Structure 1
Amino acid sequence: MPQSHSPASRWVNRIEVGVEQWGVSFIALLVALMGVVNVLSALSPALHARLRVLDRFMVLEVRTGSRLAVTLAGFALLLLSRSLWRHKYAAWVLTLGVLILSALGHLLKGLDYEEAGLAAVLALLLWLLRHRFHARSDPPSVRQGIQVLLSAFLFTLVYGTLGFYLLDRHFHTQFDLPTALVQTVRMFVQFTPPGPGPVTHFGRYFLDSIYVVAVTTFGYSLWMLLRPVVLRAPATPAERARAADIVATQGRTPLARLALLNDKAYFFTPGGSVVAFSLQGRVALALGDPIGPPADLADAIRAFQAFCAHNDWLAAFYQTLPETLEAYTAAGFNALKIGQEALVDLATFSLEGRANKEFRNVKNRFSRLGHTAVFHPPPLDHALLEALRAVSDEWLSTRGMAELRFSLGWFDDDYLRQSPVMVIRTAEGRISAFASLIPGLPPQGVSVDLMRHRRRTESGTMDFLFVSLLEWAKGMGYAVFDLGLSALAGVGEHSDDPVIERALRSLYRNLARFYNYQGLHAFKAKFRPRWEPRYLIYPQPLDLPAVALAVVRAHVGTWRALLPAWRHPPKADIIPTIEERPS
């Protein structure tokens, strides 16, 4: 693979990325600590000598309101620090304002110039680092958050003013319209209750209702202001056509064809590459490596990384090739081995010889039973699609969950119609199993896509299907048959492997309740493939849980799709290895 950067420049880039990230992380931690200082300072009594000075210039209510404002500012700083860590521009603006107000509040509540000085210095540091906060928020959400805040403020202004004026018998204080208006604003902004307080339960209820509106609207508006950019529309037809052109000329793996399915969005690079991704929460999960000229790989990775950072997303790549790892590590990413791709070299595949006796026996037995393997080139007709759908629906019912997506094809009429399919028919002409194929990516290879069978089939049906597929592919002149990813296989097998990979190894042994990983791996191993590792690329160790959740969501949609499998585990393996007959 051509390298566009020397080792020295890659190390320099990693250092620059690290310095920027740690600088932002450090200031975010300082902001969080300032939030703690605010809360502790508000809970601590002020020095009497300083209070005597303040008593000459301001009333008690101002000091009390300032103490509460400092407390609220502390909680706000704690909330904002997380968004600062993400380089959020809106968080930078809000934090700068809160720090300035916090400094004033410390002075007004007790002449606490030490805390005020810390807030001022922190505001200065934040200003000096302003160029490092570039992650934008979702524009429609920002507009909605501001609209909600203004609407709630106006509503509360009218609601509170009229309430204090009309319900003043429930309070010790008598309110006219101006004083009712001032009191409402103070409650909404400073959470300062009126005078001695209410004299009835209804008065307390009225005050609490204003507090609830203020807290709810402030919290909702803050969340909307800091929300990452949201993808609200699928890829346009023009983008899909552009991606299809790149895939047709630059696709290297079967994942390139799956990049064209309608669950993907696209990012195009100046160097002629495309990254197909699915946005799950804050994680932009790319399918495989960037598709494009090999010389553009490093630049494509960095461009997508910058694009995601600008949108407040985490960039991640699923099922990348081993030869591309260096480009990701140079960009500051981490890699986790997630399984092995099973690649059968068709030049050495044969039904001859003692070692292949099992395959010959399978083929001969099914021939004697009258079963046939029939290849159907695209486009598939409607009648065949409906027959395949019946098999697929029956297969899905044994799994107790919806079809997986993202890195796998699913039963979609338009997609499957354009796919080559091998079907197994019984002596009665009934389809008992089928597999669709992804040909031509790479040109010398072909890959299996959908694999479906009926609930009850003749023992060895899937063996017969795959033997027939391999023979067909070899006869067509293909060099490699890709049996797909064997998830978690070969992960964490050695004592010096990373801890997280050894933990995944333990999961591999205990996840049969949801998916027969080991059975599927054993089935593929029968064809003696060569195993090639595949990786999950993620930004930082702390981001791995979010990225792992995004992988699950991209494949199953929502956690609800997994509930049937949790309550009712599949009654049949993915690959039937024993004869199943009606009882």
Structure 2
Amino acid sequence: MARRAARGAALAGAVLTGLVVAAAASGWLYLVQPSGPVPGPPLPDALPLDELSRRSAVPLLVFVAVWSAAALLLGLLARLVRARRLTAALLLALGAGSFAYLTTGVSLLVVRQVPALDAFHAAARLPAVYLPAGLAGLGGALLGRRGGRDGEGELAPFTLAALVALAGAFDMFVAIFPEYESSLVEQLAPLPVPGVGALLVAPVGLGLLVIARGLARRKRRAWQLAVLLLGGSAILHLVHGAHYGAAASALVALALVARRQDFHVRGDPGADTRIVARTLLFAALIYGYGAAALWVNRLTADQPFSAGFALRETTAALLGLRLRGSAHLSGTFGQWFPLSILGLGLTAAAIVLLGWLAPWRYRLRQDARERELARRLVAEWGADTLAPFALRADKSYFFDDEERAFLAYTVVGGVAIVAGDPVGAAAALDGLVSRFIAFAHARDWRIAILGASETWLDLYRAHGLQSLYHGDEAVVDTASFSLEGRQIRKVRQSVTRLKAAGYRVDVLRPRAIGDALRAELEAIARAWRGDQPEKGFVMAIDALFRLEDEEAVFVIGRAADGTPAGFLHFAVSRAGSALSLSSMPRLRTTPNGFNEWLVCEAIAWAREHGFERVSLNFAPFAALLAPEAELSRVQQVQRRALLALKGHFQLDNLLLFNRKFLPGWERRFVVYEHRRDLPRVGLAALAAEAYLPLSGRQRR
């Protein structure tokens, strides 16, 4: 009770002291009168009690200086009572604004001798009421105490982003429906200022919508732009006549300043040079276009063509000062030229803005030391059948602090695509996942793990990630595999037919393959692929001879004359006692059953050499495509949609091929952060696997 009483007394004392500070600021405005002229415009009705003596105006600089000092004291007072930034900003803005509104309204009532309603209505339109509120709120936002826990206020960025988006939507509404320009909608829109506001309302509204998305992603640059734009909007309101729009813009800007610690995602430091270069390029193109258009239409001008004339006209059009046409240009050219320049300028500004707010550019990095460390960890800990594929050259590596574990990833369209589960000591994986999430978030990358196994789903969930079933990996147990029995008779027939035709198999390590045979195998792979790109990212090797001698096996099928007709390329997982199929190219002239025969030979070789498992093709959505599967109505719709994609992705073909060998099935998942990310994650995954024309992977 004593503590509560002391707290209440402190708050009461703070309120009383705040009133004293506000009253003192008003008093100082009456006392401080500059002897000479002060630069800048006067602020009308800043001293409403002196209106009869025509001294109600105060130089704007003097007014701002006095109330800035008062705002500093009010902010320190809020800090003393341990008020948090947002609370301090809103309460001080409300308190100072109410004080100025009441004192000004009463003063106008006394001096003008008008009805009270008219006096207070006039006070609500005075910049001298809104400026103290804004400055006091800014003092609280800057000097108030920061919120306690970092996790506190997780909704604040989204709430502020929604408010900024709403402001942008208001602007766009006013731009599309100008007949509402005098309504409440226009009053609340950030830029309904006549003249300048009419010109800027549409691009500013669009800019606010773009910035809102960046705010939701906690981007520091989006925060800077939002504060600048909304703060400038509030100032424009005050200059051209204060009303509700000034209060709306100022309050959102104050809230952004107060919650500035929430917007900590830094922009790509490497983007600054690109943005400057891009800006200079756009400027050169726009001014070049302007000069060329003016020269071609020089007869429509009222003065001779010159570089200075072209520079002035293009600049004025770019700033929107020639929106209704140029006085120096006649005819239709004088009407469309300024609009074309302004359109080009807005387009260029939008491109530059989006580039400045974009996620960090991905830079592929894989030095010799990291590659050797990754090889060692795969050899020691890579029990998962997908682990060897982490050694692709187009993946970057991310290690834990002690370099006991790593994951392989690339970035496509702002999505960090992780290939399979992390590889390394189990005790290090929790810290590795935590560090990578922080690493990706700092660069504004979304996260997706493709081909995740069930083993580590609980680990991902512990870090706030979600999972979605993706498909099944067909894994053959070499000890129990047999060609006997009715279920596998078609495979047995293929094997018998190929052997009778004189086909034989060679199983070779990479070091045993000479230059001539290597050239033949690469030619078979190129002919099989044709014009199509090399598909695969999670469960394929990007080059036939990428892996070293103990990391790969070639199962080569030779025709009766001894020439290679096709082959299977396997990655070796020593820790998992497994072979993982990477590719199976063949000549188009090979007989049916060729691949089935090679798989059986590979399984037999693996059993003889101590490998317990052989991983075949991954079958996407196998549980949905299985003919005997019992599906819900939603799953039936999904199945029909997947079958419609058969010609593009061979989904059911992979499943049917795998089922011939009676394998075991290991479920694989896509791990992601938010459901709203799934469309983007899906496109990024297809691009990473080379199923889309452009991979979107930026490399340096």
Instruction: State the TM-score bracket (shorter-chain normalisation).
Output: 0.7 to 0.9
Q: What corresponds to 1:580 in structure 2?
A: none
Retained in 2: the 8 A contact 1:88–1:137?
yes
Match of 2:682 in 1: 548
Of 470, 477, 480 in structure 2, the residue corresponding to residue 338 of structure 1 is: 470
- 1:135 positional shift: 2.5
Q: Paired residue for 2:451, among 309, 316, 319?
A: 319
| Native 8 Å contact 1:70 1:105 kept in 2 | no
Aligned AA (2:207):
A
Corresponding position: 1:466 with 2:599: yes
Q: Tell me which residue corresponds to 2:670.
A: 536
- CA apart distance, 1:121: 1.2
Q: State how far apart, in whole Å, the 2-side matches of 1:439 and 1:136 are.
A: 41
Q: Give me the whole-angstrom Cα distance separating, in 2, the residues matched to 1:80 and 1:34.
A: 11
- 1:388–1:85: structure 2 CA closer, same or farther, 3 Å change rule? same
Task: Tell me if 1:121 matches 2:257.
Answer: no
Offset of 1:255 from its aligned partner?
A: 2.2
Structure 1 stretches of 5 or more lacking a match? 1-15, 52-61, 562-583
Deviations along 1:268-302, one digit per CA (max 9) or x if unpaired, are 22153212111111111010112222122232222
Aligned-residue Cα RMSD (Å) equals 3.9
8 Å CA contact 2:476–2:664 kept in 1: the answer is yes
Q: CA deviation at 1:193?
A: 4.0
Amino acid at match of 1:510: A
Q: Distance in 1 between matches of 2:281 and 2:521?
A: 55
Report which stretch shifted further, 467-476 or 138-147. 138-147
CA distance in 1, matches of 2:535, 2:399: 26
Residue 220 of structure 1 is matched in structure 2 by 351
Q: Which amino acid aligns with 1:425?
A: R
Indicate the SS of the match to 2:545.
Answer: helix
Q: 1:133 is aligned with what amino acid?
A: F
Change (3 A) 1:205 1:73: closer
Q: Does 1:428 align with 2:558?
A: no
1:94 is displaced (CA, Å) by: 0.5
Say if 2:640 is the partner of 1:509: no
Q: CA deviation at 1:133?
A: 1.8
CA contact (8 A) 1:285 1:315 kept: yes
CA contact (8 A) 1:66 1:106 kept: no
1:37/1:115 contact within 8 Å kept: no
Distance 1:102 1:421, change over 3 A: same
- What SS does the aligned partner of 2:401 have? coil
2: CA distance between counterparts of 1:122 and 1:421?
Answer: 64
User: Quick check: 2:325–2:334 contact (8 Å CA) kept in 1?
Assistant: no
Contact 2:387 2:421 in 1 (8 A): no
The equivalent of 2:63 in structure 1 is none
- Kept in 2, the 8 Å contact 1:243–1:260? The answer is yes
Q: Is the 8 A contact 1:391 1:453 kept in 2?
A: yes
- For residues 641 and 584 of structure 2, what CA distance do their matches in structure 1 show? 24
Instruction: Select the structure with the greater relative contact order (CA < 8 A; seq sep ≥ 6).
Output: 1
**Residue number in structure 1 paired with 2:654:** 520
Verify the 8 A CA contact 2:508 2:554 in the aligned structure 1. yes
Residue of structure 2 in register with 1:452 after alignment: 585
Residue of structure 2 equivalent to 1:274? 406
User: After superposition, what is the alpha-carbon deviation per residue over 1:187-211, rounded to whole angstroms, capped at 9, x for unaligned?
Assistant: 5445564798554334335423542
Amino acid at match of 2:347: T
Q: Which segment is superposed worse, 482-491 or 195-204?
A: 195-204
Q: Which residue of 2 aligns with 1:96?
A: 227
- Contact map agreement 2:383 2:577 (CA 8 A) in 1: no
Q: Pick the aligned partner of 1:36 from 165, 169, 176.
A: 169
> Residue 296 of structure 1 aligns with which residue?
428
User: 1:236 and 2:361 equivalent?
Assistant: no
Measured in 1, the distance between the counterparts of 2:532 and 2:557 equals 25
1:157 is displaced (CA, Å) by 8.9
Between the aligned partners of 1:471 and 1:303, the Cα distance in structure 2 is 42
- Partners of 1:448 and 1:17 lie apart in 2 by 46
Structure 2 residue identity aligned to 1:454: L
Letter in 2 for 1:91: A
Question: What whole-Å deviation, never above 9, does each CA across 1:450-497 have from its counterpart, x for those lacking one?
Answer: 112221223322222111111111111211121131122014855569
User: Is contact 2:323-2:339 (8 Å) kept?
Assistant: no
TM-score (ref. length: structure 2) = 0.67
Aligned counterpart for 2:269 among listed residues 126, 136, 139: 139
- Counterpart residue identity of residue 526, structure 1: K
Q: Which moved more, 1:467-476 or 1:521-530?
A: 521-530
What residue is the counterpart of 2:610 in the other structure? 477
CA distance in 2, matches of 1:367, 1:163: 76
Equivalent residue pairs, number: 531
Question: Structure 1 residue 385: deviation in Å?
Answer: 1.4
Distance in structure 2 (CA, Å) of the matches to 1:445 and 1:163 = 69
Letter in 1 for 2:429: L
Any conservation in 1 of the 2:579–2:606 contact (CA below 8 Å)? yes
Partner of 1:59: none
**Deviations for 1:117-167, whole angstroms, at most 9, x for unmatched residues?**
111111122122222222233333333324544676699799989999xx9
Q: Percent identity?
A: 28
1:553 is displaced (CA, Å) by 0.8
Shift of 1:356: 5.9
Q: 1:203 aligns with which of 331, 334, 345?
A: 334
Aligned to 1:570: none
Residues in 2 aligned to 1:393 and 1:158: alpha-carbon distance in whole angstroms: 47
One-letter identity of the residue aligned with 2:659: A
Contact 1:73 1:102 in 2 (8 A): no
Q: Of residues 490, 493, 498 in structure 1, which corresponds to 2:623?
A: 490
**Equivalent residue of 1:404, what SS?**
coil
Q: Distance in 1 between matches of 2:253 and 2:169?
A: 16
Q: Deviations over 1:519-561 (max 9, x none)?
A: 3222222222111100011121111111111111111174269
CA contact (8 A) 2:318 2:338 kept: no
Find the residue that maps to 2:689 and give its secondary structure. helix
Query: What residue is the counterpart of 2:376 in the other structure?
Result: 245
Gaps of 5+ in 2: 1-148, 188-192, 696-700
The CA distance in 2 between the partners of 1:86 and 1:45, in whole Å, is 32
Query: 1: distance between equivalents of 2:314 and 2:489?
Result: 87
Does the CA-based 8 Å contact 1:145-1:220 persist in structure 2?
A: no
Shift of 1:46: 4.5
Cα distance in 2 between the residues matched to 1:532 and 1:39:
51
**Shift of residue 324, structure 1, vs aligned partner:** 1.1
Displacement after TM superposition at 1:216 (Å): 3.3
| Contact 2:687 2:694 (8 Å CA) reproduced | no
Scaled by the length of structure 1, the TM-score of the pair is: 0.80
Give, in whole Å, the separation in 2 of the partners of 1:231 and 1:425: 43
The answer to whether the 8 A contact 1:136-1:229 is kept is no
Query: 1:409 aligns to what?
Result: 540
1:58-77 to structure 2, matched below 5 A, reads: 63-77=194-208
- The alignment status of 1:309 with 2:441, answered yes or no, reads yes
Partners of 2:606 and 2:291 in 1: CA distance: 80
Q: Residue type of the partner of 2:525?
A: S
> Following the alignment from structure 1 to structure 2, what is the Cα–Cα distance between the partners of residues 485 and 82?
36
- Whole-angstrom CA distance in 1 between matches of 2:649 and 2:287: 57
